[in-house]
Amino acid sequence: MECAVAITAPAQAPSHSAVKPVPRSLESNWVARAKLLDKRVKEKPDAELLFIGDSITEGWEGKFATNVWAIWDKYYGKRKAVNLGIGGDRTQHVLWRLEKAPLDDVKPKAAVVMIGTNNSNGEDNTPGQIAEGVAAVVKKLRERLPNTKILLLGIFPRGENFNVQRGKITQINQVLTKLHDGSNVHYLDIGPQFLANDGILPGEIMPDYLHLSAAGYQVWADAIEPKLAELLGETR
């Protein structure tokens, strides 16, 4: 078993925004979506799999590309997966949602987590703060669902060409590897699979260089499938 180096949010009062749980209560669309997701959880107590994140995760519902539902149904329909992604969310918003979510009556075998790209905008948070925010999300999920295996994905690359934000994301992902413990938390960086050999992010994979096309979601599904099947106990 590999040993993980702990990355923890401050034990005292949160020292920065990425680790302070807050709702987006002034945004009516967010409030409605959060209520819908809570309803989904209540209506699916037999869910085996959760997807937790921002708009990139929400996009599994076809928000940015057509024909995505077919991919979702093929890979995750029989697994009774629940999509808990909300566009625009940052680590602090997911923290708040996990604190309030009706998770007491569900026992998913695994949860796929990918969050943090929105924290990387501009100077909002440093790489270290974002890594702490993601670690806080993992910690909260472990508290709420202690028997659920977490597949923590590295933040996906963004921007067509090499850029400062991609570098920031790379630094965050380097730290997130330390959360991998080989038992409860499994880190996987599939970001390179979206890139061409010259480092360009193809438009056919991410049309706006942030959100995935159907082809991009196919890459995602294929890339995590072996590990996800293992965590769900489907392989020997």
Which residues are annotated as catalytic? Answer: 55, 208, 211
Q: Nearest to residue 18, comparing CAs of 89, 68, 92?
A: 92
Block residue for tokens 């992902």? 173
In one-letter notation, the amino acid at residue 122 is G
- Other beta carbons within 10 angstroms of residue 55's beta carbon come to 18
Q: Are 113 and 149 in contact (CB under 8 A)?
A: no
Could you tell me which residues come within 8 angstroms of residue 112 by beta carbon, excluding any fewer than 6 positions away? 49, 50, 51, 52, 53, 57, 151, 153, 224, 228
H or E stretch covering 84:
strand 81-85
User: Measuring CA to CA, which residue among 34, 165, 6, 172 is closest to residue 95?
Assistant: 34
Residues contacting residue 72 through CB under 8 Å, at least 6 positions apart = 60, 61, 81, 83, 217
Q: How many CA atoms lie within 13 A of 90 on its CB side?
A: 21
